Amino acid sequence: MQLGTEEIERFRARVLDWYDRNGRHNLPWKRPATPYRVWVSEIMLQQTRVSVVVPYFQRFTAQFPDVAALAAAPRDAVLAQWSGLGYYARARNLHEAARRIMDRHGGAMPATRAEWEALPGVGRSTAAAILSLSMDQPHAILDGNVKRVLARYGAIPGWPGRTAVERELWSLSEVLTPGQRCADYNQAMMDLGATVCTRTAPACLLCPVNDGCRARAAGEQEAYPSPKPSRRLPVRRTRMLLLESERGVLLEKRPPTGIWGGLWSLPEMPADRDPAEHCRQELGLAVDASEFWPSFRHTFSHYHLEIEPVRARVRGDAGAVMTGGESIWYNDRSSLDRGVAAPVSRLLQQWQQGKR
């Protein structure tokens, strides 16, 4: 897409003027917008709305106010602050990146895009956002909101996840990004996509660049960007065991990678296996008659997980649990200062309520 110099300058000026009057100036990571705080916010905002992120960001940065505190924290403590936010690989990558910053950069936050992109969990747009928003460096960004604004403005067809479409959007973003006030411009573009150029029912009359928007001129705003090609997600099934003893309910630590990596979870078993047999063979526990709770669905990006909770009472000594890994007994007196996945938290709450 070719734009003339006059249109480029007009676009930049209008976006910045709109931001001065209507932008989100009070976001917590902007007070102050240090590289550390912006980095944490950008990782949290990946695939997550601002309204959801704000309270998590505030708690997280209160617990880990700088990169040294984050790097020194145990993994469990980091995951505990992330519990419920989802996409837990982000937290693991954030923690590992903090340790690398301490080890390889002496605790100094990276000042180049290449250095940021070398860290786990940081891609091109995230690195550019950190440097522009915290240091006002002139880097173009391309998060989901910016993709939507640019795809509509340029009437760029195709799903942005395709390489050729993404390449065209990057090219347009680079052309439009100014050399001055880059922090304000990039924040403005994200705000514009989040509050005006929304996924559905965009408020085109309020858009500062509506007169140049090719999609609006054709009356096809909601046709851009093209949606991701649909596909039916496969369904997997599991049973989660609420195993009760006089000590509480059993939790196990999951492997460090994979789904819910490093989080604490209820023991799982195949949906077609007998709970008593599974507990005897895999956990070394004898259990009484099981109570099957209604199953529910938890959806990941690549599949649905049908979860059938099973509640059972452990007979005899629960001290020796043959789990092959870390395990704890959680009870009403426990402080669950460990990361747990949302479905597990939900079931623990139900279990506690059922005991009252």
Distance CA 207, CA 22 (A): 11
Judge contact between 297 and 304, C-beta under 8 A. Answer: yes
Instruction: Give residue 335's pLDDT.
Output: 60
Q: What is the pTM of this model?
A: 0.84
Active site residues: 42
pLDDT digits (tens, 9 = 90+) for 273-320: 999 999 989 888 899 878 999 999 999 888 999 999 999 999 876 655
What integer pLDDT is reported at residue 320 of this predicted model? 53
Q: What does the DSSP assignment read for 49-99?
A: -HHHHHHHHHHHHHHS-SHHHHHHS-HHHHHHHHTTT--THHHHHHHHHHH
Structure tokens at 300: 């990941």
Q: Is 24 exposed, middle or buried (0-12, 13-18, 19+ CB in 10 A)?
A: middle
Q: What is the pLDDT of residue 333?
A: 67
Say whether 264 sits in a helix, a strand or coil.
strand
State the pLDDT at residue 316.
75
Residue 18: how many CA atoms within 13 Å on its side-chain side?
Answer: 23
For residue 7, what pLDDT is reported? Answer: 97
Low-confidence ranges of the chain (pLDDT < 50): 322-324, 356
What's the pLDDT at 327?
A: 85
The pLDDT value given to residue 112? 97
pLDDT of residue 321: 53
Q: Which domains does the chain have, with CATH numbers?
A: 5-223 (1.10.340.30), 235-355 (3.90.79.10)
User: What is the per-residue pLDDT for 90?
Assistant: 95
pLDDT tens readout for residues 7-53: 999 999 999 999 999 999 999 999 999 999 999 999 999 989 999 99
